[in-house]
Amino acid sequence: MLSGHEAAEQEGRMGDAFPMIKVAAVQAAPVFLDREASVAKACRLIAEAGAHEARLVVFPEAWLLGYPVWLDISPGAALWDHPPAKEVFTRLVANAVEVPGPATEALASAAAQAGCALVMGINERERGRPSGTLYNSIVTFGPDGSLLGRHRKLIPTYTERLVWGRGDGSTLDVYDTPLGRIGGLVCWEHWMLLARHAMHATGEQMPCRSLARGQRPPPGRLPPLRLRGSLLRRRPRLGPPPRPDPGRPRDLPGRRYRPGHAPPRWRQRHHRPGRSLPCRTRWL
């Protein structure tokens, strides 16, 4: 196999040549809370993607048997000893995926037959513990069907904590494949600065972003790391903001104060522009 430089010389081009890889982002619903039917559907979708020459297939967050959407739309989801909530949670636990297990073996076989790498969002159950903790996880398979690893979402978001436990940093890995170094984070982990930094620092080349049920990123795209990092340089100030300098010319460019009024109040910043931080900082 020729290197990028050798291929460029033979074709008379300047610079190196880099491979083009077709990626399939699956936009399909699972068979809700039915593990076996969902696995069968996933295998069909993987085969279809492989037939269209995709070399990497990525499924959404918690795709395998479905995202627990009732947490957001059911008023009684968090009530103590609420029978409907207990019933649906029991079904979620019963259909959750063990890693490794029969479900992951079927996915690995489908990936190997299609000749593509696979990233799958699952509801994971601790292996060998039918009543153990559930996790919002992603599992990664190589093009040869090997199970490369899994990542458990570090901190479930808001109501997700009713059903999923916390992961830890031991699963922040990237995996070497013939396609490149594949990694992935789950949903709001992409707003965790240190989690993203860990993935960048390990040489992630193909980040697989996992979201569920039509969640949208902020307008445009995820902000670059340098913009996120700039928030760490905002120094919190204690006490009230200073009064305007009486000798400051009114027409001086910059902040403007109305006569007889204090400077703008303390503002709160978040990692998303226009939202609030848990700590108070002054926007300079």
* pLDDT tens digits, one per residue of 205-264: 888 887 775 544 444 444 444 333 333 333 444 445 555 556 555 555 544 444 554 444
Distances in Å between the alpha carbon of 97 and those of 3, 89, 128?
41, 14, 11
| pTM metric for this prediction | 0.71
Can you tell me the distance from the alpha carbon of 142 to that of 165, in angstroms, rounded to the nearest whole number? 27
Q: In which domain, by residue range, is 245 found?
A: 234-284
Residue 19 confidence (pLDDT)? 81
Same structural domain, 105 and 240: no
Residue 158 confidence (pLDDT)? 87
Q: Among this protein's residues, is 187 annotated catalytic?
A: yes
> Which is catalytic among the residues 61, 124, 160, 189?
61
The domain total for the chain is 2
Can you tell me the distance from the alpha carbon of 3 to that of 17, in angstroms, rounded to the nearest whole number? 8
Same structural domain, 165 and 281: no
Is 121 contained in some domain? yes
Is 229 contained in some domain? no
Range among 57-61, 201-205, 280-284 with highest mean pLDDT value: 57-61
**Domain stops at, among 223, 257, 276:** 223
Strand stretches in 39-179, DSSP E: 56-58, 117-125, 134-141, 147-152, 175-177
**Domain stops at, among 174, 196, 223:** 223
The two three-digit tokens of residue 271, written as one number: 């990692």
Same structural domain, 219 and 241: no
Question: Considering Cα of 43, then 44, then 45, then 47, what sign does the dihedral take?
Answer: positive
Site of tokens 């040489």: 203
Residue 154 confidence (pLDDT)? 94
Same structural domain, 8 and 57: yes
Q: Among this protein's residues, is 153 annotated catalytic?
A: yes
Can you tell me the distance from the alpha carbon of 7 to that of 59, in angstroms, rounded to the nearest whole number? 34
The two three-digit tokens of residue 181, written as one number: 């170094």
Same structural domain, 247 and 208: no
Mean pLDDT computed over every residue of the chain: 78
CATH number of the domain where residue 103 is located: 3.60.110.10
Same structural domain, 214 and 255: no
Same structural domain, 218 and 245: no
What is the arithmetic mean of pLDDT over 268-281? 44
Same structural domain, 184 and 109: yes
> Which is catalytic among the residues 187, 189, 204, 208?
187
Q: Which residue, 20, 36, 45, is CA-closest to 105?
A: 36
Can you tell me the distance from the alpha carbon of 202 to that of 183, in angstroms, rounded to the nearest whole number? 9
> Which is catalytic among the residues 153, 189, 204, 208?
153
Same structural domain, 39 and 82: yes
**Domain stops at, among 223, 258, 274:** 223
- Angle, helices 35-51/102-114, rounded to nearest 10 degrees: 10
Is 86 contained in some domain? yes
Same structural domain, 188 and 238: no
**pLDDT tens-digit readout, 151-163:** 999 999 988 999 9
Share of the chain above pLDDT 90, in %: 46
Can you tell me the distance from the alpha carbon of 95 to that of 101, in angstroms, rounded to the nearest whole number? 12
Residue 7 confidence (pLDDT)? 56
Residue 81 has pLDDT above 70, yes or no: yes
Same structural domain, 196 and 245: no
What is the arithmetic mean of pLDDT over 135-143? 96
Q: Among this protein's residues, is 61 annotated catalytic?
A: yes
Same structural domain, 253 and 154: no
Is 228 contained in some domain? no
Residue 175 confidence (pLDDT)? 93
Can you tell me the distance from the alpha carbon of 182 to that of 204, in angstroms, rounded to the nearest whole number? 6
Least confident range from 7-21, 71-85, 131-145, 166-180: namely 7-21
Of 261 and 21, the one with more pLDDT: 21
Strand stretches in the chain, DSSP E: 23-25, 56-58, 117-125, 134-141, 147-152, 175-177, 180-186, 206-210
